Amino acid sequence: MIAILQRVREARVEVAGRVTGRIGAGFLMLVCAEPGDTEAVAEQLIQKVLKLRVFSDEAGKMNRSVQDVGGGLLIVSQFTLAADTRGGNRPSFTGAAPAEQGRRLYEHCLTFARSQHPLVQSGEFGADMQVHLVNDGPVTIPLRMT
């Protein structure tokens, strides 16, 4: 699985003008399943995200996790993270999992994250979403689990 984490002061996702998810401080997590991914890979990704120490401690050092600071997690599916741009000017997305598998793994990410963390919000799989965020830092971290 591929993920992009953005440490945010706030973030929300809208679909057709309605808010599907909103958090204050925490992580906006864009996630893409790849063909070989499994539920175990999705769980490994969520565990990594929840323990990643990129929030400031009292000394201003990035030494706290989203769990330590009581931050939110807004998880948004984004198949375009699997884009392959080596072959020309139009990206190929064949590196993304097929839609049914992608949906299943995205839903598993949400279910597992909610079992591990009290504040988890989401986008809507396959929808045309508008993502609004205030990046904090900015801190943006790419992750890949295989």
Task: Cite the active site residues.
Answer: 78-80
Q: Give the Cα separation of 97 and 32 in Å (integer).
A: 8
| Alpha-helical regions (H) of the chain | 39-51, 99-116
Question: What is the gyration radius of the CA atoms in the chain, in angstroms?
Answer: 15
What is the DSSP-derived secondary structure letter of residue 135? E
User: Can you say whether residue 142 is alpha, beta or left, with left for phi > 0 and alpha for psi between -120 and 50 degrees?
Assistant: beta
Q: Give the Cα separation of 106 and 28 in Å (integer).
A: 14
Question: CA torsion sign, 96 to 4 to 47 to 23?
Answer: negative
